[in-house]
Structure 1
Amino acid sequence: MVARRRCLCDRLSVDVLSDLLQRAQATDALVRQIIARGPWSVTYADVPSLSVVATLGGSACLRLDDGVPRMLQAGDIALVTGVGSYMIADSPETPPSYVIRGGQKYTLDGKPVEWREYLAPRTYGDGLPGATTMVRGAYDLCGGAGERLLALLPPLAVVPATPSTTPALDLLTTEVAREEPGQDAVLRRLLDFVLVLALRAWCAETELPSWYQALSVPGIGDALRVMHEDPAHHWTVAELAAKVGLARATFAARFTKLVGQPPLTYLTGWRMTVAADRLRDTTDPVATIARQVGYEDPFAFSVAFKRIYKQSPTSWRGGESLH
């Protein structure tokens, strides 16, 4: 029974994490591989909001803007968020050598350098015996869904190798160097898979927002999942309680205690997150977006939206966020 419950909770967590990831990505993920023998280093500047860095063979050092080095052993995954730049090197003693900015390679004094080290598609380095092998994926997450996902993480989260992440990394590095039809789509899915596995492992060992912790609680996790899956449905507390097999009062009290807010308050916040992103990412009329998040009346939707984002849906669509 315990194993079955843990399996259910893992499935619920992945469902909601996958939903956030899908909603948060504005651009395609970029995946590259390094195979190089020391000494070597590379600094990534103007980085996207989330980077996934994994050591596949050998060891490496990752250093953020604060200058504190963090060693990565084979199979370790580092999740980097909210930083301006970071450096990866074979050793903490290796000084910076060149900078990647906007996909272009530069010397430390800002002179462009021609790429000469390609070993295979999306793979660069020297490929010599004893080389460290690393893979790096970068996402540019956006909107409220992106903010929720990024809020789970510190600037640097290191996930040690696990029996579930290691095979996924092996598959990713095999596919990185291939050039087949649809390969970018394959790499995107594999990087999503690695990221979700890493997030699961990180979240299992870390104190997290109450809504995420509640995913592992039978009944409450189910309710969060169905609200994420179908925000347009006209959910009531009674219907949610019946859906997860709890009495209405018990469900409402337990949900509020674990998540930190009542069920319909959480649902409204999630609906507005979805709506805010759709207002920015689509040209759908406000009335259409209102229906997509459970409001038949555009005026009622606008009132709810303004209560959270401090401006009307139309203003939000046309200008910068005030939230």
Structure 2
Amino acid sequence: MDVLSDLLHRARVGNTEVRQLIQRPPWSLTFAASGHPALAVVAVLGGPAHLRLDDAHTTKVPVPEGGIAVVKTTGGYTVADSPTTPPQILIEEGCKVVLDHSREPGALRNMGPRTYGDGLPGATTVLRGSFVLHGDVGERVLDLLPPVAVVPAGSRTSAALHLLTTEAARDEPGQDAVLHRLLDLVLVLALRAWWAAPGATPPGWYHAMIDPRIGRALHALHNDPAHRWTVAALAEEANMSRASFAARFTALLGRPPLTYLTDWRMTLAADALRDTDATIATIAHHVGYHDAFAFSVAFKRARGAGPSAWRRRQTMRPPPDRDNH
């Protein structure tokens, strides 16, 4: 499994949710802070929009027609037809709250499955999908992006959005599975487009993945992190000399191969300690340590506390909300 697929697969919590608004201007939707790390995909079809992050700087970002905004939803944000349109509807914990009583907001009118608005000529379609993330792997996913990344319309993203908007309005057997996969597709295509744009600063492993030789080694490492990897074995996967492989890997990812491997193993171990009741020895074996003591030493070096103490701390924290909104 490649790095991005592995990260998204391991970081996800709960079911994917997709909703769309088909509304003539003026319109405005405010999404409250979820309280948990999350990603949202906001696509605008049929007209431009503006996205405002409710941070200390009240950042305002235009989203062009056909564009996609990938938002780190650790805080609240508003999507509107114009930056001057006042908030009309607040979406909080899956419920709609009217903020502007001067007119009946179209976002309250149910047009069909997962679809709201008036649907009249001249309407803009805003499609939003959300992913709740969890654990240390979830934090890694969030670290890949700025607070909001806007991707302009493209042939590949437009085709995927057309499929997603069509399916969002249906209610047939297997619909949730279809929406889940289509939203994954839109997210991955948006991330690819963002990182390929001029001036982008993608993570080191992105360049490593598309390197024909280093990519093979990285793929093998993520496919079986518990394997007793050595630099020589990874170099063999890459069909390179040990020295050349180590130098190239370090240049692309900013750390030596075995340091990267240890860091990834500790990330997997942290999530296993948080999410399961497995013994320390079982988790150690699962992430590639046949000696629980050696694992405990490595984990304490990485996380500042031994596995047992770290696990006790996590049990005192509230679990993530497994219902997307």
Verify same fold: TM over 0.5.
yes
Compute the TM-score of the two structures, normalised by the length of structure 2: 0.89
Query: Equivalents in 1 of 2:307, 2:172: separation in Å?
Result: 43
- Conservation of the 8 A alpha-carbon contact between 1:46 and 1:102: no
Aligned residue among 50, 54, 78 for 2:43: 54
Give the structure 1 partner of residue 123 of structure 2.
131
| Secondary structure in structure 1 of the residue aligned to 2:227 | coil
Partner of 2:318: none
Give the CA RMSD over aligned residues: 2.2
Aligned equivalent of 1:24, options 11, 18, 25: 11
Distance across 2 between alignment mates of 1:251 and 1:291: 27
- Number of the residue aligned with 2:303: 309
Q: Mapping of 1:175-186 within 5 angstroms?
A: 175-186=167-178
Quick one: which of 71, 75, 82 aligns to 1:84?
75
Task: Determine if contact 2:39/2:132 at 8 Å carries over to the other structure.
Answer: yes
Structure 1 residues 319 and 169: CA distance shift in structure 2, 3 A = same
**What is the rounded CA distance, in whole Å, between the counterparts of 1:314 and 1:135 in structure 2?**
43
Tell me which residue corresponds to 1:67. Answer: 58
Q: Residue 225 of structure 1 aligns to a residue in which SS?
A: helix
Matches of 1:191 and 1:103 in 2, distance apart? 19
Q: Offset of 1:33 from its aligned partner? A: 0.7
Deviations 1:184-237 (A, max 9, x none): 122111111111111111111211332333223232222112111110111111
1:287 aligns with 2:281: yes
- Summarize deviations over 1:256-279 as a string: whole Å, max 9, x none: 222111111100101111111122
Matching residue of 2:319 = none
Unpaired stretches in structure 2, ≥5 consecutive residues: 316-325
Tell me how far 1:67 sits from its aligned partner. 3.2
Whether contact under 8 Å (1:220, 1:244) holds in the other structure is: yes
* Offset of residue 59 of structure 1: 2.0
Q: Which residue of 1 aligns with 2:162?
A: 170
Query: Is residue 277 of structure 1 aligned with residue 271 of structure 2?
Result: yes
Counterpart of 1:156 (choices 148, 169, 185) is: 148
What percent of counterpart residues are identical? 59
Q: Which amino acid is 1:241 matched to?
A: A
Q: Is the 8 A contact 2:49 2:64 kept in 1?
A: yes
Q: Which amino acid aligns with 2:60?
A: P
Report the Cα distance in structure 2 between the residues aligned to 1:262 and 1:116, rounded to whole angstroms.
Answer: 54
Matched residue type, 1:296? H
User: How many residues are treated as equivalent by the alignment?
Assistant: 307
Residue of structure 2 equivalent to 1:100:
91
Q: Which moved more, 1:85-94 or 1:169-178?
A: 85-94
Deviations 1:13-51 (A, max 9, x none): xx3111100100122222111100111111111245211
Which of 17, 21, 26 is equivalent to 1:39? 26
> Could you tell me whether the CA contact under 8 Å between 1:56 and 1:170 is conserved in 2?
no
Which residues of structure 1 form unaligned runs of 5+? 1-11
Post-superposition Cα deviations, 1:143-199, rounded to whole Å, max 9, x if no partner, equal 121111111111110011112111111111111111122211221111111111111
- C-alpha distance in structure 2 between counterparts of 1:247 and 1:177, whole Å: 54
SS of 2:51's partner is strand
How far 1:239 sits from its partner (Å)?
A: 0.8
Q: Note if contact 2:88-2:100 (Cα within 8 Å) is conserved in structure 1.
A: no
Q: Could you tell me which of 295, 300, 312 is aligned with 1:318?
A: 312
1:82, distance to aligned residue in structure 2 (A): 4.6
- TM-score, length-scaled by structure 1: 0.89
Distance in 1, Cα, partners of 2:158 & 2:19: 18
Match of 1:7 in 2: none
Q: Which residue of 1 aligns with 2:321?
A: none
Residue among 222, 227, 241 paired with 2:221: 227
